[in-house]
């Protein structure tokens, strides 16, 4: 199959969260299965294109934006260790800026930036002579390309048979903007803007809604989240829209690229380890505690449980629960706590305060750090993810492979990947709580801690965790099945 992918993030080039990891892992997997994959990504300032081996090519791409045409240079390269091709869209006026989306509020012209990406996706496929079977778009950033395909491109020989699939990673981001700005840019006449129309959403334009209603097939990143966005407030106002497309919507659990995330061959770990050599995990913990937290060797070896977190510091991740729970945890249960994260200022300040007040029991790194992410996930005994909502969540799946026991709120993908440990049968590999309250979180951590080094449970828990298989291969195969359904749908519509 020829698969054209458009996304706002792609690891290792440009990453904010799980979206980057999953788009890269899928592309790599499909390429390894023999499919031709082309991923299109904006050339953000942070990407050292030449350093990653990208080459600029001729000609540039011309992108219709309303009454005018804008141009972008194209750079071609590949994903590291993969045959999947990557095309960087070099439009400095949109993308040569700090970061990806512009924190914390987002750049005011994000609508325009991502409409440009969506339109360029279809135009550059023509420049490169890439005739896709599937156009795979992700989140609001490229969702509108599904409608652009249907409306402007499907009659061309290049896209005659192309089916579109939209994957929704997070419904909280919808690309809502002023119709006076975006309709002319997209070439949509005003007659099509009226209550209840595709282009209208409470007096605005909602790019995600347009994608949901017009992509041939839809997916989201876990079965539970697929249900939640149709039936609960987690649909963020789009419950009805998702329900209209219910028959075309599936939940495909994200997967892990175990080449990147396995304790046996993790290049960031001082000591590689496996289920057969769990002493290696202890050594990683000691090294983290001495090297990063500055603990003396004897103290680092003490059997004190270490709770870890690697996360964006946003409301989604349940940080407000931690504001209530962390101090009592540290004071009363004498745990150690390590956090790597960045995000909302008040949350960052809270963790800075905590680190200064409880040093060296609590250590915190505010910022983005790939190597530290791997080291914390390997070193921690437990990983905390008390999310308010979680479309899938990758970090808990990484933790499982590293024998780090997840303590999670049972929501979305966390519910689908973490099974409660049952001390009677010795099954399960984590601890879940349902209510979004500090008491539920505190009680569950306390319960989980009762198994720390308590044999035979501790050994069983870790072995069960490490035996979980959430490989990206399984996800990639399920996407291919979905792509087949999308192609069938397009063929049936043509007939």
Tell me the per-residue interface mask from 16 to 55 with ligand ADP, x by CB under 6 A, - otherwise. -xxx-x----------------------------------
Q: Which of 211, 263, 305, 393 binds ligand ADP (CB under 6 A)?
A: 393
SS (H, E, C) 127-152: HCCCCCCEEEEEHHHHHHHHHHHHHH
Q: Does 379 bind ligand ADP (CB under 6 A)?
A: no
* Residue 255 within binding range of ligand ADP, rule CB under 6 A: no
Q: Is 245 in the site for ligand ADP (CB under 6 A)?
A: no
Residue 370 is a binding residue for ligand ADP (CB under 6 A): yes
Select 38 or 221, whichever has its Cβ closest to ligand ADP: 221
List the one residue from 82, 395, 417, 444 that touches ligand ADP (CB under 6 A). Answer: 395
Q: Give me 11's structure tokens.
A: 């690891």
Q: For ligand ADP, give the closer residue by CB, 132 or 386.
A: 386
Other beta carbons within 10 angstroms of residue 123's beta carbon come to: 18
Q: How many residues bind ligand ADP (CB under 6 A)?
A: 18
- Interface with ligand ADP, residue 311, by CB under 6 A: yes
Q: Return phi, psi of residue 150, to 5°.
A: -60, -40
The answer to whether the CB of 376 falls within 8 A of the CB of 357 is: no
Strand partners of residue 384:
407
Question: Is residue 353 near ligand ADP by the rule CB under 6 A?
Answer: no
Residue the block writes with tokens 């590689």: 272
Q: How big is the CA angle at 350 (ends 345 and 356), to the nearest 5 degrees? A: 125
| Least spacing, CB of residue 234 vs ligand ADP, in Å | 14
Stretches 14-22, 51-59, 205-213, 450-458: which one binds ligand ADP (CB under 6 A)? 14-22
Piece in contact with ligand ADP (CB under 6 A), picked from 105-113, 231-239, 326-334, 340-348: 340-348
Residues 6+ apart with CB under 8 A from 469: none
Considering only the C-alpha atoms of the chain, give the largest distance between any 2 of them, rounded to a whole number of Å: 74
Residue closer to ligand ADP (CB basis): 373 or 400: 373
Contacts of 160 (CB under 8 A, 6+ apart): 154
Q: What is the dihedral of CA 67, 70, 76, 78, to 10 degrees?
A: -60
Of 132, 179, 308, 341, which lies in the binding site for ligand ADP, with binding defined by CB under 6 A?
341
Cβ 432 vs Cβ 449: under 8 Å: no
- Kindly state the smallest distance separating residue 176's Cβ from ligand ADP, in Å: 20
Whether 407 and 269 have beta carbons less than 8 Å apart is answered as: no
Q: Which stretch binds ligand ADP (CB under 6 A): 28-36, 120-128, 292-300, 335-343?
A: 335-343
- What are the backbone angles phi and psi of residue 289, rounded to the nearest 5°? -70, -35
Closer to ligand ADP by CB, 101 or 130: give it: 101
Distance of closest approach, residue 221 Cβ to ligand ADP, in angstroms: 8
Return the residues of window 407-466 that contact ligand ADP according to CB under 6 A. none
Q: Contact with ligand ADP (CB under 6 A): which of 369, 437, 471, 478? A: 369
The minimum distance between CB 173 and ligand ADP, in angstroms, equals 11
Member of 5, 253, 373, 379 binding ligand ADP (CB under 6 A): 373
**249-251: strand order across its sheet:** 55-65, 68-78, 85-90, 36-42, 2-6, 134-138, 163-168, 217-220, 249-251
Kindly report the number of other CB atoms within 10 A of residue 435's CB atom: 12
Q: Which residue shows structure tokens 């790194």?
A: 365
- Work out whether 394 is an interface residue with ligand ADP (CB under 6 A): yes
Task: Write out the residues near ligand ADP by the rule CB under 6 A.
Answer: 17-19, 21, 310-312, 340-342, 368-370, 373, 392-395
């Amino acid at each position: 199959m020829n698969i054209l992918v458009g996304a706002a993030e792609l690891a290792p080039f440009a990453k904010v969260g799980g979206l980057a990891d999953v788009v890269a892992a899928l592309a790599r997997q499909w390429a390894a299965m023999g499919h031709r994959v082309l991923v299109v990504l904006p050339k953000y300032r942070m990407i050292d294109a030449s350093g990653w081996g990208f080459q600029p090519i001729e000609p540039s791409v011309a992108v219709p934006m309303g009454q005018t045409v804008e141009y972008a240079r194209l750079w071609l390269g590949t994903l590291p260790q993969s045959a999947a091709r990557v095309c960087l869209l070099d439009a400095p006026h949109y993308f040569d800026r700090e970061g990806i989306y512009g924190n914390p509020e987002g750049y005011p012209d994000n609508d325009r930036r991502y409409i440009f990406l969506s339109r360029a996706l279809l135009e550059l496929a023509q420049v490169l002579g890439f005739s896709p079977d599937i156009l795979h778009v992700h989140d609001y950033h490229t969702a509108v390309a599904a409608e652009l395909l249907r409306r402007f491109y499907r009659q061309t020989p290049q896209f005659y048979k192309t089916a579109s699939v939209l994957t929704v990673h997070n419904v909280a981001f919808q690309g809502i903007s002023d119709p006076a700005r975006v309709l002319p840019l997209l070439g949509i006449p005003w007659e099509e803007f009226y209550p209840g129309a595709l282009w209208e959403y409470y007096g605005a334009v909602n790019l995600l809604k347009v994608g949901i209603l017009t992509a041939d097939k839809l997916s989201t990143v876990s079965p539970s989240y697929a249900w939640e966005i149709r039936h609960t407030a987690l649909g963020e106002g789009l419950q009805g829209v998702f329900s209209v497309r219910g028959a075309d919507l599936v939940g495909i659990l994200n997967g892990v690229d175990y080449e990147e995330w396995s304790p046996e061959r993790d290049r960031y770990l001082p000591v590689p380890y496996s289920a057969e050599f769990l002493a290696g995990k202890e050594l990683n913990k000691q090294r983290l505690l001495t090297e990063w937290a500055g603990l003396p060797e004897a103290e680092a070896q003490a059997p004190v449980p270490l709770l870890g977190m690697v996360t964006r510091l946003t409301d989604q991740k349940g940080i407000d629960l931690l504001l209530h729970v962390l101090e009592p945890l540290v004071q009363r249960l004498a745990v150690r706590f390590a956090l790597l994260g960045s995000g909302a200022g008040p949350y960052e300040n809270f963790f800075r305060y905590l680190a200064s007040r409880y040093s060296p029991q609590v250590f915190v790194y505010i910022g983005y750090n790939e190597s530290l992410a791997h080291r914390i996930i390997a070193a921690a005994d437990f990983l905390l993810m008390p999310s308010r909502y979680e479309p899938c969540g990758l970090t808990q799946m990484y933790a499982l492979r590293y024998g780090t026991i997840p303590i999670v709120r049972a929501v979305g993908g966390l519910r689908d990947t973490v099974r409660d440990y049952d001390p009677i049968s010795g099954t399960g590999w984590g601890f879940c709580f349902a209510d979004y309250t500090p008491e539920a979180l505190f009680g569950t951590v306390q319960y989980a801690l009762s198994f720390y080094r308590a044999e035979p449970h501790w050994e069983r828990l870790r072995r069960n965790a490490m035996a979980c298989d959430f490989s990206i291969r399984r996800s990639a195969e399920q996407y291919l099945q979905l792509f087949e359904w999308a192609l069938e749908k397009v063929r049936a519509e043509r007939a």
